Amino acid sequence: MIGDLITGYGFWNPLIWIIVMATGLLFAWLIWRCGESGYDKGTEQTKPYLSGNDEPPKSDVHIRGGNMYWGFTHALKGYYDKLIPLHSGVVNDYLTWFVIGVIVIFVVVMVI
Amino acid sequence: MNLLLDNLPALLIAVPLLGAFLVPVIGRFLPKIRDAWIILVSFLASLAAVITAAAVFLKGTLVYVFGAAAVSSAADSGGIPFRIIFTIDGFGAFMLLSAAIVSFAVVLYLVASQKERSGKSEFYALYLLLTAGIFGMVSTGDLFNFFVFLEINTLAGAALVSYHRKGGIAVEGAIKYLIVNTVGGLMVLFSIGLLYAQYNSLNMAFLASQMTWTTLNIVALVLFITALGMKAGAVPFHFATPDAYSVAPSGITAVMVVASQAGLYGLFRVLFTLYGGSINTVTIGWVIIILGILSMVIGVTMALPQKDIKRLLAYHAVSQTGYMLLGVGVAFAVLGDPAATAAFGQTAMEGGLFHIINHALYKGLLFLAVGAVIYRTGVWSLNKLGGLGHNMKWTMVFFLIGALAIAGIPPFNGFASKLMIYESVFAFNPALSIIAMVVSILTLASFMKVFHSVFMGPRLPEYENVKEVPKLMIAGMIILTIFVIGFGLVPDLVVDSIVSPAAAALLNQGSYITAVLGGGL
Amino acid sequence: MIANLPFIAIALLIGIAFAIILLKKNMIKMVMGIGIMESAVNLFLITIGYREEGIAPIFTSAPEGSVMVLPTVQALTLTNIVIGVAATALMISMIMIIYKKYGTINSDKMRRLKE
């Protein structure tokens, strides 16, 4: 069939995928249409409701990039504590890794 | 017209080189037409590359001998070809195509984004030199020539990285890149000398026909793997890559990705064409696979906690290089086993190679989109950006497409190549495939972070007046987007027409040798 | 033994060059180390092209049956010298800018880009 990408085990056809997704979206749209439209722009309704408190300034609401995946890096602290210092920024270390790589690969290739 | 068509491989180098040296002259006397000149030269160079690639895909390997009476007769002088020779087979043509697309798209972008900067003539001259270096590396059939283009590539790249000094920090990144790659380049030259000492030739096809498994050849191979791996940015030789990528002008970084992939091209060319079946492919294949796995895992885990937006993308470039090494490494490990090659080796190879062009396209797009953000805001830190989706809708769309493609979400091109790698590598060793999938998930996670913290969220007061970028920058991004989406929608056509010939060219060492030396040797 | 002397010299030079590049923190000295490595590679190229009793490889008016040294490697060496000059000049000029902006040429101190 046109668009079949044979991957060894099966195939991937983006056209079928798009047709399926489009059908799904069509159903979603049909269901959405059945809903009741009670949304009015520019009224009290659209304002965020935070238990009656005032809305904080916009710059405080946004979650900054540095705060994301804090948990992930914290959970892998042992790994990151070892990994990050390796990227020391000293160009001598970079070349040391090159020499180590040459020696290790050479030994591996010669021994095996 | 026929004269031009016959000499296309020479034009590949001549057009960007001549164009580069004329840029300062034109910039001095006719500064008004400089931008038009750059676009014209880059367009002609890309056109020459595309036509050459098309000729190779239609007619088979193209052999071009400089200075010979008949351009295709390489095996003169008693069977040992000594002339400078260009041998463009399927793989070279494939790389030419990816370099041509990205370099032209980036020129459009640069013309707009560099408008306010000074010293533009030399900047574009270096840019065209870099293009010439990349084109030369992927089309030459002569090892020393390869080294010369590698050095042109490194020098022009380092000079471009340091072009806008940013208080010295860009120069710091550039000098690290330059020192590391100069040492690597000298090691490449040393191993070329080792091969020349034994076989008295620099011609890759001739060397390939003579290659045996000796200690000297192993030393040369190891130096090739490490030095070209360093150019490509494979862990543990990747350290200078993020340093250089994160400080380079954004458009340049997109081309640097292609430039480092030319190093990857050299690595695969040396492995498959030069050494081929004459060595212990299982061990070397596993060395490449392990380099690939390390690149994937360390690249993506280093990318996750980054706070500098371009440095994050640079670590992803390291991580994606791992996929290519993994796919091609698997194919190399089973090279000696025709049944396994037919079953999954070839698919792994096609997946790895397809990922090269896909990565050049979507990573180029991502760097351009991020460059657009930096161009308008001047801010690099993810901690300070936010809410830009309100003002930069086009950039947001382009970034989203690039991010989905790199994370392997259908129907973009990254998914097609990653699927090929997963399924074929699974047949080789399921654990490797699982690692690759986990890395892909982490990639998606880290791009969620970038997308959220740059484009999502409420409109921030400090970015109230940010405008969309100029049209020419958008045009550059559109070209890459069209290819990202197009390659994702018809992956079978792309694989059949350009990736399969590339994989076949690498897997079939004999055809390369015959194309250059003729059947007689 | 005496024929192997150049190769021993090459090995020593490359070893010295790597020792300088890996151990010296002064960037200028690192560039000098790269220069030594370049010379070592050049010496290597010239040595592999050398033939006993060889004459200059000029075909016109060469005596019958004479051995010539290989011309290709000499061309390679010339090219590599030119490339080396370009690389060294670029590195030195970058170090100048680093010194202006950072006030140091110590590679330990030159690490605003890390992690």
Q: At what angle do helices B143-161 and C71-102 cross, to 10 degrees?
A: 10
Nearest CA to C75 out of B202, B139, B63 is that of B202
Residue A12: inside a domain: yes
Checking if the pLDDT of B79 tops 60, the result is no
pLDDT for residue B82 = 65
Chain C residues whose beta carbon lies within 8 Å of the beta carbon of residue B308: none
pLDDT for residue B97 = 94
Whole-number Å distance between alpha carbons of B198 and B217: 9
Whole-number Å distance between alpha carbons of B84 and B142: 6
Residue A16: inside a domain: yes
Reported as a single tens digit per residue, the pLDDT across B275-300 is 987 788 899 999 999 999 999 999 99
Q: Would you call C97 and B162 a contact, using CB atoms and an 8 Å cutoff?
A: yes
Q: Which of residues 27-46 of C touch B (CB under 8 A)?
A: 27, 30-31, 34, 37-38, 41, 44-45
Whole-number Å distance between alpha carbons of B166 and B164: 6
Residue A17: inside a domain: yes
Q: Would you call C95 and B159 a contact, using CB atoms and an 8 Å cutoff?
A: no
Checking if the pLDDT of C10 tops 50, the result is yes
Straight-line distance from the first to the last Cα atom of chain B, in angstroms, rounded to the nearest whole number? 34
When pLDDT is cut at 50, 70 and 90, the band that residue B103 belongs to is: very high
Chain B residues whose beta carbon lies within 8 Å of the beta carbon of residue A74: none
Q: Chain-wide mean pLDDT for chain B?
A: 90
Q: Where are the domains of chain B?
A: 280-489
| Residue of chain B nearest C50, judged by CA positions | B197
Chain A residues whose beta carbon lies within 8 Å of the beta carbon of residue C108: 90
Query: Is A15 touching B (CB cutoff 8 A)?
Result: yes
Checking if the pLDDT of B363 tops 90, the result is yes
Nearest CA to B298 out of A51, C41, C71, A83 is that of A83
Residue A2: inside a domain: yes
Residue A24: inside a domain: yes
Checking if the pLDDT of C50 tops 90, the result is no
The DSSP annotation for B7-53 comes to: THHHHHHHHHHHHHHHHHHHHHH-GGGHHHHHHHHHHHHHHHHHHHH
Expressed as residue numbers, the domain containing A107 is: 68-112
C55 three-class SS = strand
Name the minimum distance, in Å, from the CA of B152 to any CA of chain A.
Answer: 21
| Residue of chain B nearest C84, judged by CA positions | B182
When pLDDT is cut at 50, 70 and 90, the band that residue B201 belongs to is: confident
Name the minimum distance, in Å, from the CA of B65 to any CA of chain A.
Answer: 35
Q: At what angle do helices C27-48 and B169-199 cross, to 10 degrees?
A: 20
Residue A78: inside a domain: yes
B/C interface, count of CB pairs below 8 Å = 87
| Residue of chain A nearest C115, judged by CA positions | A87
Proportion of chain B above pLDDT 90, given as a percent:
66
Q: Would you call A99 and C113 a contact, using CB atoms and an 8 Å cutoff?
A: no
Residue environment code for A4-28, b if the CB has 16+ CB neighbours within 10 A, otherwise e: ebebbeeebbbeebeeeeeeeeeee
Q: Would you call B175 and C91 a contact, using CB atoms and an 8 Å cutoff?
A: yes
When pLDDT is cut at 50, 70 and 90, the band that residue B461 belongs to is: confident
- Residues B419 and A7: beta-carbon distance below 8 Å: yes
pLDDT for residue C64 = 74
pLDDT for residue B161 = 94
Write out the two tokens for A30: 């049909």
| Residue of chain B nearest A10, judged by CA positions | B423
Query: Is C110 touching B (CB cutoff 8 A)?
Result: yes
| Residue of chain B nearest C30, judged by CA positions | B179
Chain A residues whose beta carbon lies within 8 Å of the beta carbon of residue C113: 89
Checking if the pLDDT of B80 tops 70, the result is no
Q: Would you call A92 and C22 a contact, using CB atoms and an 8 Å cutoff?
A: yes
Query: Is A105 touching B (CB cutoff 8 A)?
Result: yes
Checking if the pLDDT of B520 tops 50, the result is no
Q: Identify the residue with better confidence: B147 or C58.
A: B147
Chain C residues whose beta carbon lies within 8 Å of the beta carbon of residue B178: 87, 90-91, 94
Reported as a single tens digit per residue, the pLDDT across B379-434 is 888 888 888 888 899 999 999 999 999 999 888 999 999 999 999 999 999 999 99
When pLDDT is cut at 50, 70 and 90, the band that residue B69 belongs to is: low
Reported as a single tens digit per residue, the pLDDT across C62-74 is 777 778 788 888 8
User: Which spans in A35-69 are helix H?
Assistant: 58-61
Report the C-alpha dihedral over residues B182, B185, B189, B190, rounded to 10 degrees.
70
Among candidates C48, C83, C113 on the partner chain, residue whose Cβ is nearest the Cβ of B247: C113
Chain B residues whose beta carbon lies within 8 Å of the beta carbon of residue A101: 226, 229, 236-237
When pLDDT is cut at 50, 70 and 90, the band that residue B52 belongs to is: very high
Chain C residues whose beta carbon lies within 8 Å of the beta carbon of residue A82: none
* Angle value at C-alpha C28, between C27 and C29, nearest 5 degrees: 90
Among candidates B222, B420, B495 on the partner chain, residue whose Cβ is nearest the Cβ of A106: B222
Q: Please report, for residues A81, B27, B206, C30, the alpha-carbon distance to residue A94 in angstroms, rounded to integers and kept in the order given.
A: 18, 39, 35, 13
Name the minimum distance, in Å, from the CA of A97 to any CA of chain C.
Answer: 10
Query: Is C20 touching B (CB cutoff 8 A)?
Result: no
Among candidates B144, B172, B196 on the partner chain, residue whose Cβ is nearest the Cβ of C112: B172
pLDDT for residue B521 = 42
Mean pLDDT over B90-98 rounds to 94
Q: Which of residues 64-103 of C touch B (CB under 8 A)?
A: 70, 72-73, 76, 79-80, 83, 86-87, 90-91, 94-95, 97-98, 100-102
Report the C-alpha dihedral over residues C102, C107, C110, C115, rounded to 10 degrees.
180
Residue A18: inside a domain: yes
CATH class for the domain made up of C2-102: mainly alpha
Distance of CA A78 to the CA centre of its chain: 23
Q: Where are the domains of chain C?
A: 2-102
Checking if the pLDDT of B229 tops 90, the result is yes
Checking if the pLDDT of B466 tops 70, the result is yes
pLDDT average per 10 residues of sequence, chain A (112 residues): 72 89 96 84 77 78 80 90 90 94 93 83
Lowest-pLDDT choice from B2-11, B370-379, B478-487? B2-11
Checking if the pLDDT of B71 tops 70, the result is no
Distance of CA B370 to the CA centre of its chain: 19
Among candidates B230, B287, B302 on the partner chain, residue whose Cβ is nearest the Cβ of A83: B302
Q: Would you call C73 and B196 a contact, using CB atoms and an 8 Å cutoff?
A: yes
Name the minimum distance, in Å, from the CA of C58 to any CA of chain B.
Answer: 16
| Residue of chain A nearest B462, judged by CA positions | A59
pLDDT for residue C36 = 96
Reported as a single tens digit per residue, the pLDDT across B494-513 is 999 999 999 999 998 888 88
What's the number of domains chain A is made of? Answer: 2
Nearest CA to C99 out of C16, C19, C37, C31 is that of C31
| Residue of chain B nearest A12, judged by CA positions | B416
Q: Would you call C72 and B151 a contact, using CB atoms and an 8 Å cutoff?
A: no
Chain C residues whose beta carbon lies within 8 Å of the beta carbon of residue A95: 18, 21-22
